[in-house]
Structure 1
Amino acid sequence: MPRFLITKGCRPRNVYLTHAKCLVAIEAWIAVRLERSWGVCGGAEYRGLRPDSKLVLTHKGQSFELAFKHRELESGPEVYRACDALQQTISRLYRQAGIKQGSSHSGRRSLAARVLAATGDVETVQTILGRQCLDHSKPYLTVDPETVRQAFELAL
């Protein structure tokens, strides 16, 4: 099963790592993988890792198993595959990086807010978030009250 089939909306997703502590944690994890020869190819390309290997593995160096999830929707029952263990591992990476309350969405919100503040371009935020519809980007956009105050001053 292609990896993107387990994402929300079954679309490929990009992950932009910007937090310095996350980068340090990822670097340490890559060093562990290279030391233990988990998913390595020996070449310099892809930092010595096989491009088809997953970044996050179990403590035994294997891929996480995808468990079936059952949801009861208004339209009827739905069964899909998801990976709770992977989400727990990502949460653990956040904690190890010193980010007390973190999730993929809090990181997306922070990134969206920072890009919006830096560029003022909502379409750029939409592209980074991988959203097809601008309305779907709005929940990730928070505007700093100071930015709102400055905008009013400029307008008046």
Structure 2
Amino acid sequence: MSEPYCLAMVLCDNVHRDAATGKHTILGTFSTLGAGKYPAKVSFCVYFAITDGLGPTKLRIRLVDAACGITDEVDGETEPVFEVSHEFPFESPLVVLEGMFQFKTEIPKAGLYHCEMWAGGELLMSRRVLAAQVSDHPEEDKGVVDHE
């Protein structure tokens, strides 16, 4: 079986797939999630493009606390924030499989996370995601002070 290769993994607000052409449009890319308080409920998509696969391949996306490092081991301390998987058929290693996973989850605390794409037991790609604490008063963050 061929070893899959990840060409792209993009965190975004949404992905539109044109029914007529099959082309994907990626909407609202980001690497930081902001919330006024944590835990915070978030929803986002992960667009991916993978090639060099052959046959049925289980792809898995997970979000983990960066302090845990990159590992496929799951124990009581390193349980992912979320994890989903789906099996995709690769007809040929020449095919580029494009798709997306859509998530609604809760980020437990502000900090650094990794969004990881796995095929079987192999890490294909990892993206950093910063969960930032944002002010309820954004004008203060920009140095704007209202002198009333």
* TM-score of the two chains, using structure 1 as the length reference: 0.25
More strand by share: 2
More helix by share: 1
Point out the structure with max Rg over C-alpha.
1
Report the TM-score, using the length of structure 2 for normalisation.
Answer: 0.26
